[in-house]
Amino acid sequence: MAKPLNIGMIGYGFMGRAHTNAYKRVADFFDLEYRPVLKAVCARSADKAKEFAAKWGYESVETDWKKLVERKDIDAIDICTPNNTHSEIALAAAAAGKMILCEKPLAMNGPEGLKMVEAVEKAKVPNMVWYNYRRVPAVTFAKQLIDEGRLGRIFHYRAKFLQDWTISADLPQGGTALWRLDVAAAGSGVSGDLLAHCIDTAIWLNGPLADLNAMTETFIKERKHNLTGKVEKVGIDDACAFMGHFKNGSLATFESTRYARGHKALYTFEINGEHASIFWDLHDLHRLQYFDHRDQGSLRGWRSIHVTDGDHPYMGKWWVPGLQIGYEHSFVHQVADFLEGLTTGKPAQPDFRNAYQTQLVLDAILDSAKSQKWVTVAAG
Amino acid sequence: MAKPLNIGMIGYGFMGRAHTNAYKRVADFFDLEYRPVLKAVCARSADKAKEFAAKWGYESVETDWKKLVERKDIDAIDICTPNNTHSEIALAAAAAGKMILCEKPLAMNGPEGLKMVEAVEKAKVPNMVWYNYRRVPAVTFAKQLIDEGRLGRIFHYRAKFLQDWTISADLPQGGTALWRLDVAAAGSGVSGDLLAHCIDTAIWLNGPLADLNAMTETFIKERKHNLTGKVEKVGIDDACAFMGHFKNGSLATFESTRYARGHKALYTFEINGEHASIFWDLHDLHRLQYFDHRDQGSLRGWRSIHVTDGDHPYMGKWWVPGLQIGYEHSFVHQVADFLEGLTTGKPAQPDFRNAYQTQLVLDAILDSAKSQKWVTVAAG
Amino acid sequence: MAKPLNIGMIGYGFMGRAHTNAYKRVADFFDLEYRPVLKAVCARSADKAKEFAAKWGYESVETDWKKLVERKDIDAIDICTPNNTHSEIALAAAAAGKMILCEKPLAMNGPEGLKMVEAVEKAKVPNMVWYNYRRVPAVTFAKQLIDEGRLGRIFHYRAKFLQDWTISADLPQGGTALWRLDVAAAGSGVSGDLLAHCIDTAIWLNGPLADLNAMTETFIKERKHNLTGKVEKVGIDDACAFMGHFKNGSLATFESTRYARGHKALYTFEINGEHASIFWDLHDLHRLQYFDHRDQGSLRGWRSIHVTDGDHPYMGKWWVPGLQIGYEHSFVHQVADFLEGLTTGKPAQPDFRNAYQTQLVLDAILDSAKSQKWVTVAAG
Amino acid sequence: MAKPLNIGMIGYGFMGRAHTNAYKRVADFFDLEYRPVLKAVCARSADKAKEFAAKWGYESVETDWKKLVERKDIDAIDICTPNNTHSEIALAAAAAGKMILCEKPLAMNGPEGLKMVEAVEKAKVPNMVWYNYRRVPAVTFAKQLIDEGRLGRIFHYRAKFLQDWTISADLPQGGTALWRLDVAAAGSGVSGDLLAHCIDTAIWLNGPLADLNAMTETFIKERKHNLTGKVEKVGIDDACAFMGHFKNGSLATFESTRYARGHKALYTFEINGEHASIFWDLHDLHRLQYFDHRDQGSLRGWRSIHVTDGDHPYMGKWWVPGLQIGYEHSFVHQVADFLEGLTTGKPAQPDFRNAYQTQLVLDAILDSAKSQKWVTVAAG
């Protein structure tokens, strides 16, 4: 019988649902030593917390996260609140000896992230950041192909994360649903929200970045603020692009925006190696495009691999070839890997220290965009 | 608080997993009066039943389906066993006053299916057949577009279901995993397994078929049989194609096979109307291709619609635009619709009578393939 | 210096332009012993003939094709007139000892075609039918792959030719531009116009058809006739589908229509073999989709081959990799192959006898559609 | 009868063929006042010149371009030689009162380009630079859509030109075939060769660039030189990326490389506007992808427009809907527009002055890559 791992979730929004779903499903598909138990959910509003608990099956509710963190019956704290709250909660949870699963990005900035890293390392608590896209089977498969050396020397890594949901100037900023547009809560705009995903994947697949040069833009300069009711200056970046170098000598070209009409969540990356190239697209996340120069010349072409076979990463746990899985499964996989890490002692990645690397790149991006200069990415 | 609906599941294979998953997840995403409870799972092997029950959370097990059917604490029987067992179980379940959710195809043939229809109608028990592809959001969306009259007069309906998993002559037939290759258990080959899906969707979207002319083929004539250990004649159809007429005057061209190298589960359909056309593909099930001739001439093109918005069917229950769902969700939707039908009194479709139409088409197909003549599809 | 080959062209419509363009361009890209010379163009209207000659550079005009056929300075007759005139012209041209390049389909029906075959064979004049799609590089490349045995045993061959230009009931039939809708001039509808292409390619790639069962439909029953000015019954088939068997045991499923909204000229074919599959689409004619089961399992996928490399058929004559050619080039290639055949003594295909096979399949199709029975394809 | 325009072509390589083909074909498809006549071709090698003239039909040859420029019977000089020769030839041709059609990029750098602009303007001779991609029908169609205001305010313009043909370290630099790898002949690498196309199109579609920040890379530092026979330092950029701002406030992200495995000539651009977005790809140049936010919400999707209808730019001159044209046609269109400009007095674009803008952007790119700073693009 699996051992229970009692989860205390803070926050109940989009990510709260995605994580909770993952906790509930993982044992149906993965055979693991630990089984998550939905012990408690915490929200400032008791009504909201109770509603969420009833819907998803949490055993109890809290309205003060500090109480949750102190509860003896909680093994792991899941932080799904806005970015500006991650640090305080994580420091407290670490001090209380809890495992921590923190929504991305880790922190508001590098220094804040470093304190969090030091806290969990000092407390020796298992910790992880929800950069879920590493666990999309096609992306994990890309990692395998790279680790097998199939691509050879890497020349280019390019990534984009394009959305179009904030184009209307009538959209307000701030508050529960729109805190991502409020710089006080989010810390940054698309760089921390979208580009952070691209950077995490890139570091995982291609190693650390050495330096970069970034540009940010805020297309809509003022928006009504939901908390103050007043029109206020927009502090976030609506778009962000950077170019730079990876330490392995390959070139980086990255871009993210919420002003690309026609794209809902178009996270794509392409890696060009000496021997082979890889392309992936979140809008068709169950496919990997692969080109291998070692194929016979006249028969070379980009292969559209439907990553649904039993020998593709994670897919043996699900259905049969040809039947695709979706977005939410990446969270299930991440929980599975986290739980397996508890058993094996090899922590699932990215842990806080690993995710801190992305924070340093984000700092470099914002520094460069402000100074208009090339910036060396700090070593993590 | 939702009312419990106690499920008794018979079978524990691929479909047993898919249905069970649907029962477990539906309440997390849909607000309904009823909530499925995993009361019992039945398998001939007690060990297999226990293992499945432990993994998925069934409260109890049975090894004799007749006992399950008689249990007072069971509200609904889910039939996930091979095709040749559907009828007997369904007749017993109806007699016992149980609701029935039966895996497709309904029966081995039309007459058998008719008895099942009559049994559930006499018993007045809610009943449904798991033609899950109706509940893929893109397919349901296609239905909406057709019902809105956007396509105008229909000229063509073409559907294919192509696989490639039985090409090897070394693959045996029969037994637990491979009963689909054994005509005694399956009744037919790709016609009942794959084409049945195409037909169900077609009738739903385009109305009944009037007549047809079919061709079947068995490429590998003999295979070792897992039950007898001997090489035996293969009785199923490896491939099946038919052409015909819908009652609305449009032309039908259908094909299915397990010998189309490169296709894992390529179920596609295309409908050509006077004003607009629609195309869908199970390999990218979250997209619908739509062409509208009423668009300005020079700007006409097939639109690739990423069916993930809140105003797309079912999608408001899941994540945010751009984040796709997968195969298994079609079952969740079907459970949700079944439960809602219990509340509204408008039974979810296809019920047995509706699914019986597909059975009549399958009969016509096999008759025509044998007689090599055009056959009128019997009225259901 | 290349030897001149004096062309006498009959007809000046769409095909007249396509052929003429091919004659004018071939020597710029192919090094051949013969060089076509635009000697004369023939049309009933002297004005039309002169206009065409002036535009394209024909040296002279004729208004009576019989005179053209008799001219001593003409080496080859190109027949670009409606289908119902092919036979008479070809018989006369053969009798006059001229080479003949005849637009497809060869004839109105098999018996007429056979007379043409016998005439050219008796006269021993080089002859060819313009089934140009064989010469699209991607299609020729498909032929190479098949001849190399890459596909193994063939299970399925499916082809479609879908258009949407005759959906409006207001479109008249007959006359110069619309003779394809007039059964008296065209002999049939989509079967002879579109399906003929599919059949020619299929026979070339997959060998002869053994038997078939066909269905035709005329959606718009009456149209105004441009020649009589009256509303007349439509005699052509608007849509035609058939299923059948190739002599190699593979299954045929073919369909053509002019009522598939959204498709301008969607000629596609797919071949499923034991080891590999091939797909091609006229709307992206410069690509070939190829799936090879012998690729490493997890890396299998359909390859999108951009058929523009120097080692792809014909492509070494044009530009550089990545730069696509178009529709008209298939005619240039066909002229090049015809001219090369004159030099090598190995006639370019399809010659009349080869194209007569397609005629026999078309006869079988129309017979079957009328009799509603399976029909054996006559041996050519 | 059309008036002859006598062409004197200098160079006989890839571009010599492409231009010559355009001259020969334009009158077959376009009704124009002027008709190009292939008067003379010039190459240093008399044999090469004669061979090319014989193949393509030039009336005469020259081995000294200065003589060609002076010939009375030449109306227009076409410069198809390496970049480092454009200026001297153009200055002489202008002085001789010849029209000039110069291959892109115009010059080795901005100052050289400016002299050429001043020379042709002083001489009042018609002049044009062969940025042929403007004349791909799908690209011209994009221009129409933008000019009609369909996109609204522009937020993003991103372009890439990716190739993979120089990855091998064994490839030498310099000489007839490989002068593009020799900085002395080419001036730069991918920036002048590939990115120049992207920039020309961008300025045309989206207006001038304001500032930018660039990065270049030379992956293979040394290559054998074909002229010296020695291993020499590689002076060109193998890859080049830049980000910047257009004067209309939109963001620019551009990249080009010859080290992107799997891409033969993947020139793509995407424009994101407030209301609509456009995407184009040279590998499928006959299509335009278009997304319009004003479409009904649930039916929004990227439209794949097959740009082959009679009302699409240039396409009414060619075949029928669905039949695609290719790369070479862009040159035919450019000749047609040049000739029409002679008649209308509205010079075809880009003329030298217009193409000089691209040169200034290229200068800014190389400056920025060297200085590692943001650079303001000089006003042209």
pLDDT at D155: 98
The two three-digit tokens of residue D128, written as one number? 């044009």
pLDDT at D18: 98
pLDDT band at D262 (very low <50, low <70, confident <90, very high): very high
pLDDT at D76: 98
pLDDT at A80: 96
pLDDT for C341-357, tens place per residue? 999 999 999 999 999 99
**What is C3-131's CATH superfamily?**
NAD(P)-binding Rossmann-like Domain (3.40.50.720)
Nearest CA in chain A to C299: A305
Give the separation between CA C168 and CA C172, rounded to whole angstroms. 9
Tell me the DSSP string of D39-78: EEEE-SSHHHHHHHHHHHT-SEEES-HHHHHH-TT--EEE
Which chain A residues touch C145 with a CB distance below 8 Å? 299
Q: C158 vs B262: CB contact, 8 Å cut-off?
A: no
D72 burial via Cβ count (<10 Å: 0-12, 13-18, 19+)? exposed
Which of A290, A296, A303, A312 is the best mutation test for C, with the most CBs of C within 10 A?
A: A303
The two three-digit tokens of residue A1, written as one number? 């019988």
User: Nearest-5° angle of CA B68, CA B179, CA C273?
Assistant: 150
Residue pLDDT tens, chain A, 380 long: 689 999 999 999 999 999 999 999 999 999 999 999 999 999 999 999 999 999 999 999 999 999 999 999 999 999 999 999 999 999 999 999 999 999 999 999 999 999 999 999 999 999 999 999 999 999 999 999 999 999 999 999 999 999 999 999 999 999 888 999 999 999 999 999 999 999 999 999 999 999 999 999 999 999 999 999 999 999 999 999 999 999 999 999 999 999 999 999 999 999 999 999 999 999 999 999 999 999 999 999 999 999 999 999 999 999 999 999 999 999 999 999 999 999 999 999 999 999 999 999 999 999 999 999 999 999 87
pLDDT at A176: 81
Chain A adjacent subunits, 3+ CB pairs under 8 A = B, C, D
pLDDT at B68: 98
Q: Give me the residues paired with residue A246 across strands.
A: A209
pLDDT above 80 (res D380): no
Give the separation between CA D236 and CA D220, rounded to whole angstroms. 10
If you ran DSSP here, which 8-state letter would residue D2 be given?
A: P
Q: Which fold has domain A133-376?
A: Dihydrodipicolinate Reductase; domain 2 (3.30.360)
Nearest CA in chain C to D20: C28
pLDDT for D336-376, tens place per residue? 999 999 999 999 999 999 999 999 999 999 999 999 999 99
Q: D304 vs B305: CB contact, 8 Å cut-off?
A: no
pLDDT for D317-330, tens place per residue? 999 999 999 999 99
- pLDDT, chain C, mean: 97
Q: Cα A209 to the chain's mean position, in Å?
A: 18
Question: By C-alpha distance, which of C102, C87, C74, C93 is closest to C11?
Answer: C102
Q: For residue B46, give how far its alpha carbon lies from the nearest alpha carbon of chain D (Å).
A: 49
pLDDT above 80 (res B367): yes
A-to-C residue pairs, Cβ atoms closer than 8 angstroms: 48
pLDDT for B177-215, tens place per residue? 899 999 999 999 999 999 999 999 999 999 999 999 999
Question: By C-alpha distance, which of B17, B92, B27, B87 is closest to B56?
Answer: B17
Question: By C-alpha distance, which of C51, C69, C63 is closest to C7?
Answer: C69
pLDDT at A235: 95
Contact between B372 and B212 under an 8 Å Cβ cutoff? The reply is no
Q: How are beta strands D76-79 and D99-102 bridged, if at all?
A: parallel
Contact between C164 and C258 under an 8 Å Cβ cutoff? The reply is yes
Q: A311 vs C297: CB contact, 8 Å cut-off?
A: yes
pLDDT at A53: 97
Give the separation between CA A220 and CA A166, rounded to whole angstroms. 9
pLDDT band at D175 (very low <50, low <70, confident <90, very high): confident
Residue B377, SS3 per DSSP: coil
Q: Give me the residues paired with residue D257 across strands.
A: D162, D239
Element containing residue C252 per DSSP (H, E): strand C251-257
Q: Which fold has domain B3-132?
A: Rossmann fold (3.40.50)
pLDDT above 80 (res C296): yes
Question: By C-alpha distance, which of D149, D32, D20, D42 is closest to D92?
Answer: D42
Tell me the DSSP string of D338-359: HHHHHHHS---SS-HHHHHHHH
Nearest CA in chain C to A306: C301
| Chain C residues with at least one Cβ partner in A under 8 Å | 141, 145, 288, 290, 292, 295, 297-306, 309, 311-312
pLDDT above 90 (res C1): no
Which candidate from B14, B284, B322 shows the least CB-CB separation from A320? Answer: B14
pLDDT at C380: 77
Give domain limits for chain C.
3-131, 133-376
Nearest CA in chain C to B303: C262
Nearest CA in chain B to A55: B28
Determine the average pLDDT of the residues in C248-276: 98
Dihedral-angle region of residue C289 (phi above 0 means left; psi in -120 to 50 means alpha; beta otherwise): beta
The two three-digit tokens of residue B49, written as one number? 């039943």
Question: By C-alpha distance, which of C330, C313, C176 is closest to C267?
Answer: C330
Give the separation between CA C183 and CA C1, rounded to whole angstroms. 46
Determine the average pLDDT of the residues in B47-73: 97
Q: What percent of chain B has a predicted confidence (pLDDT) above 70?
A: 100
pLDDT above 80 (res B108): yes
Q: Cα B318 to the chain's mean position, in Å?
A: 23
Which chain C residues touch A288 with a CB distance below 8 Å? 301
Q: Give me the residues paired with residue C6 across strands.
A: C37
ipTM of the complex: 0.97
Q: A319 vs B327: CB contact, 8 Å cut-off?
A: yes
pLDDT above 90 (res C210): yes
pLDDT at B257: 98
Nearest CA in chain C to B238: C155
Q: Which fold has domain B135-376?
A: Dihydrodipicolinate Reductase; domain 2 (3.30.360)
Q: A260 vs D277: CB contact, 8 Å cut-off?
A: yes
pLDDT band at C177 (very low <50, low <70, confident <90, very high): confident
Q: For residue D260, give how far its alpha carbon lies from the nearest alpha carbon of chain C (Å).
A: 13
Q: How are beta strands B375-376 and B209-217 bridged, if at all?
A: antiparallel
Give the separation between CA B357 and CA B350, rounded to whole angstroms. 10
Q: B327 vs A329: CB contact, 8 Å cut-off?
A: no
pLDDT above 80 (res B300): yes
Which candidate from B264, B286, B321 shows the least CB-CB separation from A321? Answer: B264
Question: By C-alpha distance, which of C73, C17, C5, C6 is closest to C43?
Answer: C17
Dihedral-angle region of residue A174 (phi above 0 means left; psi in -120 to 50 means alpha; beta otherwise): left
If you ran DSSP here, which 8-state letter would residue A45 be given?
A: S
